[in-house]
Amino acid sequence: MTTMQDKHTWSGRFSEPVAELVKRYTASVEFDKRLALFDIQGSLAHAQMLAACDIISTRDLDLIQHGMAEIKEEIVQGNFIWSLDLEDVHLNIEKRLTALAGDAGKRLHTGRSRNDQVATDVRLYLRQAIDDLLILVQGLQAALVDLAARHTHTIMPGFTHLQVAQPVSFAHHLLAYFEMLKRDAERLTDARRRVNRLPLGAAALAGTSYPIKREMVAELLDFEGICENSLDAVSDRDFAIEFTAAAALIMTHLSRLSEELILWMSPRFGFIDIADRFCTGSSIMPQKKNPDVPELVRGKTGRVTGHLMALLTLMKSQPLAYNKDNQEDKEPLFDTVDTLTQTLRIYADMIGGITVKPEAMRSAALQGYATATDLADYLVKKGVPFRDAHEAVALAVRHAEQRHCDLADLALEELKRFSPLVEQDIYAVLTLEGSLAARNHTGGTAPQQVKAAIERARSYLSR
């Protein structure tokens, strides 16, 4: 009798082996071998259930468990021999198991298909990845909070349209990213709930005729529940798409911070310095120190967003149920996890290595009429309607501009020309400190509020 292995065909149904090119084209082992330990984990739970349901004997289970233990060891040690002829991670492991455990190995696939097997593996993999990523997101948040805690009173210009708008606490600016990452973590946690469901038991697409217990497998694998429709279980990859969308948003947030770090490090701003170990020089211009890491993060954001588009496009219009298209889910997903993992790790370190230059921030904040709104608010508090106050201050700014000075440099008599209601106490309002202190409510930039926000952030991180 010829077997699948010695003819390299699927079964007696095929009259010729798969063409060499086609074999290479359809094989996934090169990348899905990364799922190996999750594949074994899933197989062991499946086998345990098969034995509990008397579908295989306890002796078979024992042989499967011993064989899998050996295979796991071989994989961990790097001694496992992967074969392209065996197409994917599942068939490679099953073949090796059969070599070690004989017929018991061949019985493992009872009541199962690679379709529900691979969906299970990817979910186990992604669940672990999400848990690891959540720790890294927290690490970055902690780094931001630590830096912020040292700069509640450091004043920088806040920007809109990249034009100086109003002075803000540098800590307040950093904490904006803390909030983004908090939502990012929520998104990951939420996606995890839908990742954490068991497809096994769906078999190829319709379920299986063996008396299986899916709930038992779910419990063994720590899934929160089972996928309730077999066709859906084997075919949809929405959980991977959702995760990648959350990942793309994290990268998008980090691309914003990266852009700012790059600007701030440019001598034109000179707000910060990034530690040398995160920068490179130029091979031709000896004076250069380039912010390579944030630039690459900015660039890699496109890569992860691309993976999201790839996965959405992969899923689009796929008829039920499983289609081989879905084999293409792995590389984008793995690369998303890898890119995000490396990015979060390096970012937390880099934030810890930032030198802040408060003097440069301060003088920039003093340059752009950043307290003009405070002057308008001052007039409003004296009874001037806001729109009129806005206009009066606009004229005052224009005047100061012509004189090449700041609003605070104008004499009281000059200021009174724009509104007779201006008194000596205006000078306290026009200082950067006064401007910050005035925004004293939850979510505002007053140092007192920023300190409270840091406290909240710390208790969030230690929860």
Q: Which residues have a catalytic role annotated? A: 161, 282
Q: C-alpha angle with apex 185: 456 to 345, nearest 5 degrees? A: 95
| Out of 34, 96, 107, 114, the residue judged to bind ligand ARG by CB under 6 A | 114
SS3 321: coil
> E strand or H helix at 223, and its extent?
none
- How many angstroms separate the Cα of 278 from the Cα of each of 75, 252, 289, 326, 392? 35, 20, 10, 38, 47
Q: Residue 208 interacts with ligand ARG (CB under 6 A)?
A: no
Question: How would you class 171 by CB atoms within 10 Å of its CB: exposed for 0-12, middle for 13-18, buried for 19 or more?
Answer: buried
Helices first, then strands: H and E counts in the chain: 21, 6
Contact 234, 116 (CB under 8 A): yes
Between 88 and 335, whose beta carbon lies closer to ligand ARG? 88
Nearer to ligand ARG, 32 or 335 (CB): 32
Nearer to ligand ARG, 207 or 444 (CB): 207
- Strand ranges (E), 155-238: 155-160, 163-169, 197-198, 225-226
> Between residues 333 and 376, which has the closer beta carbon with respect to ligand ARG?
333
> What whole-number distance in Å separates Cα of residue 89 and Cα of residue 67?
16
Q: Which of 98, 115, 154, 169 binds ligand ARG (CB under 6 A)?
A: 115
Instruction: Please give the structure tokens belonging to residue 198.
Output: 């068991």
Binding-residue total with ligand ARG (CB under 6 A)? 9
Does 118 interact with ligand ARG (rule: CB under 6 A)?
yes
Minimal CA–CA distance to 332: which of 46, 37, 31, 123? 31
Binding-site member from 44, 68, 80, 88 for ligand ARG (CB under 6 A): 88
Ranges within 30-49 binding ligand ARG (CB under 6 A): 32
- Shortest approach of ligand ARG to residue 240 CB, angstroms? 12
Indicate the SS3 state at residue 152. Answer: coil
Minimum distance, C-beta of residue 109 to ligand ARG, in the bound complex (Å): 12
196 belongs to the binding site for ligand ARG (CB under 6 A): no
Q: Which is closer to ligand ARG, CB of 227 or CB of 389?
A: 227
The distance of closest approach from Cβ of residue 227 to ligand ARG in the complex, given in angstroms and rounded to an integer, is 16
- Which residues between 315 and 354 bind ligand ARG (CB under 6 A)? 324, 326-327
The contact set with ligand ARG (CB under 6 A) reads 28, 32, 88, 114-115, 118, 324, 326-327
